[in-house]
Amino acid sequence: MTELVIFDCDGVLVDSERIYCRVDREVFATLGAKFTEAEIVDRFVGSSNEMLTSILEERLGRLLEPDWHQAYKHLYETALDAELTAVEGVTDVLDRLKVPFCLASNGSHRSIRRNLTRVGLLDRFEGRMFSARDVARGKPAPDLFLHAAASMGVTPERCAVVEDSPYGVQAARAAGMRAFGYCGGLTRADRLRGAGTVVFDDMRELPGLLSAAPTAEVPARRTGPVEVHRSRSPE
C-alpha cells in the first residue's frame, strides 16, 4: 500500500522536543510563570508560537511584547548545538526503507536544515523537505502533507505519515493518509491513538509496521475548516 513515507522532523527524526521543553520551563520561570514538566509536554509539544504565547500570557495574567521570545532564542540554539541527536534507531530505519521518503514539518526551512545538519541527516532529505511556509495552512490542516505527496508524485492514500504529536496525526487523518504515531519520545500513546493510526514506541519497528497489513481503515480526507498551528522552533 505504501509508496511514500512522510516524516515529521522534531521528535521523529531529531530528538529536539526534550530540549525545547526543558528550555521552555526555564524561560517561563524567568518570566514568572511556573509549569510542571507534564503541563509543558501536554500543552506545548507540537504547538505554535501563537498558542504558546497565549497560554503563557494566561498564566502570567499579562500580555507579552510581540517579539518577547527573541530575547531567549539563543538559549534554544545553544542547547540544540550542544545536545541535539537523531532519534534512536531512525538512521537504521532510513537505510532499511524500500520506498521513497520525504520530510514535512511545521518548522521553517531554516530550522529544518539546521537541525538535520546538527545530526548528520541533511543529505538524506536534500530536495525532499517541505515546510508549512510552503502552504497556506500548517498542521493540523492537511495542506502540508498533501503538498508533499503531490510534489513527490504519490496519491494521499498511498502515503504513510510518521508523527509524534496530536496535531501531526490529525493532519495525516485529514489528508486521508495512514498515520504512524511515535510515542517513544515525550507524547503519551493515548494522545496519538485514533482512526487510521498505528501507535508504536520503538522507531526500529517502523519498516515492519509499514509492510504489515493495515490495522485500521484509512480515514476519508477532510476538507472542512481547521485551526492552524505553526512550529515554535527557534527561527
For the ranges 9-18, 47-56, 89-98, which has the lowest average pLDDT?
47-56
CB atoms within 10 A of CB 217: 9
Does some domain include residue 232? no
User: What would the pLDDT profile of 149-166 be if each residue is shown by its tens digit?
Assistant: 999 999 999 999 999 999
* Same domain, yes or no: 111 and 196: yes
Region 28-34: mean pLDDT is 95
User: What would the pLDDT profile of 68-120 be if each residue is shown by its tens digit?
Assistant: 999 999 999 999 999 999 999 999 999 999 999 999 998 889 999 999 999 99
Residue 222 has pLDDT above 90, yes or no: no
* Same domain, yes or no: 109 and 97: yes
Query: Who's near 78: CB < 8 A, 6+ residues apart?
Result: none
Does some domain include residue 231? no
Residue 37 has pLDDT above 50, yes or no: yes
Does some domain include residue 235? no
Instruction: Pull the grid cell for residue 109.
Output: 526551512
Region 56-77: mean pLDDT is 95
* Same domain, yes or no: 194 and 115: yes
Residue 203 has pLDDT above 50, yes or no: yes
Contact indicator for 4, 101 with CB cutoff of 8 Å: yes
C-alpha span between 44 and 182 (Å, rounded): 17
Contact indicator for 46, 233 with CB cutoff of 8 Å: no
What residues make up the domain containing 205?
4-15+84-211
Kindly state the helix (H) or strand (E) to which residue 7 belongs, with its residue range: strand 4-7
Does some domain include residue 230? no
Query: Who's near 8: CB < 8 A, 6+ residues apart?
Result: 103, 104, 105, 161, 162, 163, 164, 165, 168
* Same domain, yes or no: 121 and 176: yes
Query: How many Cα atoms sit within 13 Å of 12 on the Cβ side?
Result: 27
The total of structural domains in the chain comes to 2
C-alpha span between 188 and 191 (Å, rounded): 6
* Same domain, yes or no: 92 and 114: yes
More confident of the two residues 71 and 221: 71
Residue 217 has pLDDT above 60, yes or no: no
CATH of the domain at 187: 3.40.50.1000
pLDDT at residue 219, as a whole number: 55
pLDDT at residue 216, as a whole number: 47
Would you say the pTM of this structure is higher than 0.85?
yes
* Same domain, yes or no: 102 and 165: yes
